[in-house]
Amino acid sequence: AQKVTQAQTEISVVEKEDVTLDCVYETRDTTYYLFWYKQPPSGELVFLIRRNSFDEQNEISGRYSWNFQKSTSSFNFTITASQVVDSAVYFCAPLTTSGTYKYIFGTGTRLKVLA
Amino acid sequence: EAQVTQNPRYLITVTGKKLTVTCSQNMNHEYMSWYRQDPGLGLRQIYYSMNVEVTDKGDVPEGYKVSRKEKRNFPLILESPSPNQTSLYFCASGGGDLYNEQFFGPGTRLTVL
């Protein structure tokens, strides 16, 4: 059975600090996809990034960066120089591909960036 | 404008009164899905559909029905709602290959009394 864990329930940082959100995905599948979504206080869900299990290259997009390590089943997300607008709930969401195409969302990490 | 629409956005109903939440997308996506969001539990997938007439259960399908008669529409049906189905519901669609990101609707807040 697959399991996704976002152990950090809530994180508070002061603006301009760097912050890393953790996600661990335990599965026996060798092929899978991992997504991060953001849910700001307004409630909509916004896609941030997709990675597949074969690609362990880190990725940087502006202030966002992602670190995927298959050996530890971790797919972490870092925001550099955080801003108040980054305040949101962040969800890690693996997609299973072994016979089904089900998404499993983590319980989310609420990030509060204080001015 | 590319979007996923849900109706109604808010609904208060009583136990046992059948209801339907509609979902429509204009992006010609093959994959559509329904989720419920509850505090502390994240989003849980109810049903998904990989194409017309193809639907499958997610993690929490009990008490729900879906149908996919057309590519653009994926209604969620509660035949006999109960208070434990009070939740925030999201519809989503995804296109291109099946591993692309999902686009989410604005959500439907349902209260069952």
Summarize pLDDT for B13-62 with one digit per residue, the tens.
999 999 999 999 999 999 999 999 999 899 999 999 999 999 999 999 99
Tell whether the model's pLDDT for residue B96 goes beyond 70.
no
Instruction: Read off φ and ψ for residue B91, nearest 5 degrees.
Output: -100, 150
Taking all residues of chain B, what is their mean pLDDT, rounded to a whole number? 94
Strand partners, B27: none
- Measuring CA to CA, which residue among B50, B21, B27 is closest to residue A95? B50
DSSP for B34-85?
A: EEEEETTTEEEEEEEEEETTEEEE-S--TT-EE--SSSSB--EEESS--GGG
pLDDT digit string (tens) for B75-92? 999 999 999 999 999 999
Tell whether the model's pLDDT for residue A100 goes beyond 80.
no
Tell whether the model's pLDDT for residue B98 goes beyond 70.
no
Who's near A60: CB < 8 A, 6+ residues apart? none
Q: Which residues of A touch B88 (CB under 8 A)?
A: 43
In chain B, what's the furthest Cα-to-Cα distance? Answer: 40
With CA atoms as reference, the chain B residue closest to A107 would be B42
Who's near B99: CB < 8 A, 6+ residues apart? A33, A50, A52, A95, A97
Contact A108 B42 (CB under 8 A): yes
Check if A47 contacts B (Cβ < 8 Å): yes
pLDDT digit string (tens) for A2-42? 889 999 999 999 999 999 999 999 988 888 888 999 999 99
> In this predicted structure, what is the pLDDT of residue A29?
83
Tell whether the model's pLDDT for residue A70 goes beyond 90.
no
Q: Which residues of A touch B43 (CB under 8 A)?
A: 45, 91, 93, 103, 105
Q: Count how many pairs of residues, chain A against chain B, have C-beta atoms within 8 Å.
A: 56
